[in-house]
């Protein structure tokens, strides 16, 4: 992404398949775009849970020989970018623990807004935390539950947490999965060869040849029991559900892979539709349209089709450079952008260019990319953004800047245009998103655009204190 929105996380689990670990490995590859900081797999072998985690990409953490040594009929995997908790091995997931009810491994995508309050209470009651991740709070709540049945204990733990969570857990008996009552984060269910598969996105199901069964609903808990012999058994329990769901709208704008479908809506098609709306909302005389690779390419192609302007590959991406937000200092981020993106000078020299991007957060990278195009000879650069101005920080699992660092916070669009050096700047509005995406999805979270948080965030703390 072009402007320091940090990733969410990816979850993938398989229950009831002899090659469960291998399938989770491939599923994590498909979800690598959701987290590039650490990766881990926990697996059940003879009813005992073992795990391996490491910092880096899936390919770094799991060389072929490592996967070959890991066998089991149920497995849980996670790729992470931290939104609460530091970047260190202790915070890599799945987090595996031993407690009085047995072994347990947890993988979480989201952010708990009452984690500080719960952690403080648990520590005063004697809990000793091993990580700085808010996900560990869930495990301590689970361990303190007096319920003998793990599903009842799981539900009791979830009833105490607030915020965003799509999570899965591996137990000696199988897999548990759940989504928060608002459904902030995506999680879907599939099936292959009689085994059940849980994935953050449908592209993960495609990677292992699984059939899409359906979305896990907000507030729903899934239990897949895997007996020593015989078919795995699925149980679905509907818990408390918010009156209006609040799926993170950035799944369609940026996070999800273009080949994923969420609630029956293909992500690529949705982004193209946003691009078409953008062309109608911000028409401009130009010679070519280009997008910032990769998340903006679908919107750029939609813009070009609607506007009747040629779509060109004005920026070339070096796919062997990591995402720019990983660099800790702005100077390093700018150098990483220069290494990652290079303008195609022969195409843009002397041309009026429409640059389509998915969002502007701080504005620093947008300014740098506009500068790249101008240095390549672009006569004009017209920026079109397929989302509204980003004015408020997210507390539900996207690690953005504090409000004071957001480019659009407290200033108008024209001031942002001047700051990034564009000739013109046009955003989509929240109503545009509602009209285009709301045909399939019942409700979205737009809090980063309008500051209307579906769950109270007053106890969430600062972004620096801000999981998974």
pLDDT at 234 over 90: yes
Question: pLDDT-based confidence at 319, cuts 50/70/90?
Answer: confident
The C-alpha angle 54, 4, 82, rounded to 5 degrees, equals: 30
Question: Residue 463 pLDDT more than 90?
Answer: no
Res 405: pLDDT: 56
Please count the residues of the chain.
468
Torsion angle in degrees (nearest 10) through CA of 395, 400, 406, 408? -70
Q: How confident is the model at residue 394, as a pLDDT?
A: 87
- Determine the Cα–Cα distance for residues 198 and 205; give it in Å rounded to an integer: 8
CA dihedral 305, 309, 315, 319 (to 10 degrees): 20
If one counts every other C-beta atom within 10 angstroms of the C-beta of residue 289, the result is 28
Mean pLDDT value across residues 333-350: 82
Calpha distance 436→432 (Å, rounded)? 6
Average pLDDT over residues 340-356: 95
Q: Looking at the predicted structure, is the pLDDT value of residue 55 above 90?
A: yes
Distance CA 443, CA 183 (A): 9
pLDDT in tens, 270-310: 999 999 999 999 999 999 999 999 889 999 999 999 999 99
Residue ranges of the alpha helices (H) in 31-114? 58-61, 64-68
Domains of the chain (ranges, CATH numbers):
10-243 (3.60.20.10), 266-450 (3.40.50.2020)
Decide if 358 contacts 253 (C-beta within 8 A): yes
Handedness of CA 342, 346, 349, 355 (dihedral sign): negative
- Residues 73-106: tens digit of each pLDDT: 999 999 998 554 567 888 899 999 999 888 999 9
pLDDT tens digits, 371-391: 999 999 999 999 999 999 998
pLDDT above 70 for 404: no
The whole-angstrom separation of Cα 334 and Cα 153 is 48
Asked if pLDDT for residue 176 goes beyond 80, the answer is yes
Q: What is the mean pLDDT of residues 346-366?
A: 93
The stretch 426-455 carries a mean pLDDT of 94
Q: Are strands 38-45 and 74-80 parallel, antiparallel or unpaired?
A: antiparallel
What mean pLDDT do residues 450-455 have?
A: 94
Q: What is the DSSP string of 160-212?
A: T--EEEEEEEEETTEEEEEE-TT--S--EEEEETTEEEEESSHHHHHHTTPEE
pLDDT value at 467 more than 90: no
Average pLDDT over residues 406-411: 63
Residue showing tokens 């200092």 = 329
Of the pLDDT bands very low, low, confident and very high (cuts 50, 70, 90), residue 337 is low
CB-based contacts of 456: which residues, under 8 Å, 6+ apart?
113, 162
Give every CB contact of residue 245 below 8 A, 6+ residues apart in sequence. 182, 183, 218, 441, 442, 443, 444
- For residue 156, CA distances in Å to 149, 160, 218, 221, 362 come to 11, 7, 16, 12, 40
> Among 68-77, 106-115, 147-156, 175-184, which is the least confidently predicted range?
147-156
Position 440 scores a pLDDT of: 85
Looking at the annotation, which residues are catalytic? 9
Q: Is the dihedral of CA 211, 213, 217, 222 positive or negative?
A: negative
CA distance 467 to 84: 4
pLDDT mean across residues, the chain = 90
CB-based contact 414:388 (threshold 8 Å): no
pLDDT in tens, 111-150: 999 999 999 999 999 999 988 889 999 999 999 999 888 8
The pLDDT assigned to 362 comes to: 77
Listed ranges 24-28, 78-82, 330-334; the one with the highest mean pLDDT: 24-28
Q: What percent of the chain has pLDDT over 70?
A: 89
Nearest 5°: phi and psi at 343? Answer: -70, 145
Distance between CA atoms of residues 162 and 396, nearest Å: 10
Residue 46's pLDDT band (boundaries 50, 70, 90)?
confident
Q: What is the mean pLDDT of residues 438-450?
A: 92
Q: 13, 171 in Cβ contact below 8 A?
A: no
Q: How confident is the model at residue 330 (pLDDT cuts 50, 70, 90)?
A: low
pLDDT at 332 over 60: no
Cβ 151 vs Cβ 177: under 8 Å: no
Query: Who's near 4: CB < 8 A, 6+ residues apart?
Result: 324, 325, 333, 361, 362, 364, 365, 400, 401
Read off the pLDDT of each residue in 393-406 and give the average, rounded to a whole number: 67
Query: Rounded CA gap, 344 and 334, in Å?
Result: 18
- Both structure tokens of 455: 């769950």
Calpha distance 29→59 (Å, rounded): 8
Mean pLDDT calculated for residue range 35-40: 93
H or E element: which one contains 448? helix 447-450
pLDDT at 420 over 70: yes
- Whose tokens are 């004009």? That residue is 380
């Amino acid at each position: 992404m072009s402007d320091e929105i940090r990733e969410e996380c990816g979850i993938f689990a398989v229950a009831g398949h002899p090659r469960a670990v291998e399938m989770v490995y491939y599923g994590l590859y498909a979800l690598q775009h959701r987290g590039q900081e650490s990766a881990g797999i926990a697996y059940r072998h003879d009813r005992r849970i073992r795990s391996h985690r490491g910092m880096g990409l899936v390919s770094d953490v799991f060389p072929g020989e490592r996967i070959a040594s890991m066998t089991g009929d149920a497995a849980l995997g996670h790729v992470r970018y931290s939104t609460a908790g530091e970047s260190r091995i202790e915070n890599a997931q799945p987090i595996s623990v031993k407690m009085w009810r047995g072994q347990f491994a947890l993988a979480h995508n989201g952010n708990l807004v009452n984690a500080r309050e719960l952690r403080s209470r648990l520590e005063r009651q004697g809990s000793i935390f091993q990580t700085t991740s808010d996900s560990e709070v869930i495990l301590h709540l689970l361990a303190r539950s007096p319920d003998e049945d793990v599903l009842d204990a799981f539900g009791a733990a979830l009833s105490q947490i607030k915020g965003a969570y799509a999570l899965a857990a591996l137990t000696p008996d199988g897999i548990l999965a759940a989504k928060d009552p608002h459904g902030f984060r995506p999680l879907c269910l599939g099936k292959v060869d009689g085994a059940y598969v849980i994935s953050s996105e449908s592209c993960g199901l495609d990677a292992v040849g699984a059939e899409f069964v359906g979305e896990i609903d907000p507030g729903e808990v899934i239990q897949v029991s895997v007996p020593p012999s015989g078919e795995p058994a699925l149980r679905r329990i509907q818990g408390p559900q918010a009156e209006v769901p609040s799926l993170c709208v950035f799944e369609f704008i940026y996070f999800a892979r273009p080949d994923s479908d969420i609630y029956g809506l293909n992500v690529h098609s949705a982004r193209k539709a946003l691009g078409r709306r953008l062309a109608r909302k911000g028409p401009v005389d130009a010679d070519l349209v280009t997008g910032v690779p990769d998340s903006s390419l679908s919107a750029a192609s939609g813009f070009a089709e609607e506007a009747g302007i040629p779509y060109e590959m004005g920026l070339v991406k070096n796919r062997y450079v990591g995402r720019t937000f990983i660099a800790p200092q702005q100077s390093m981020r700018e150098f990483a952008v220069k290494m990652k993106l290079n303008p195609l000078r022969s195409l843009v020299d002397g041309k009026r260019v429409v640059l389509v991007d998915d969002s502007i957060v701080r504005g620093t990278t947008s300014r740098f990319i506009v500068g790249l195009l101008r240095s390549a000879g672009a006569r004009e650069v017209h920026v079109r953004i397929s989302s509204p101005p980003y004015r408020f920080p997210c507390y539900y699992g996207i690690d953005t800047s504090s409000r004071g660092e957001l480019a659009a916070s407290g200033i108008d669009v024209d001031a942002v245009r001047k700051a990034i050096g564009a000739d013109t700047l046009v955003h989509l509005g929240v109503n545009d998103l509602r009209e285009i995406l709301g045909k399939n999805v019942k409700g979205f979270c737009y809090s980063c655009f309008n500051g209307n948080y579906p769950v109270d965030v007053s106890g969430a703390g600062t972004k620096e204190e801000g999981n998974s």
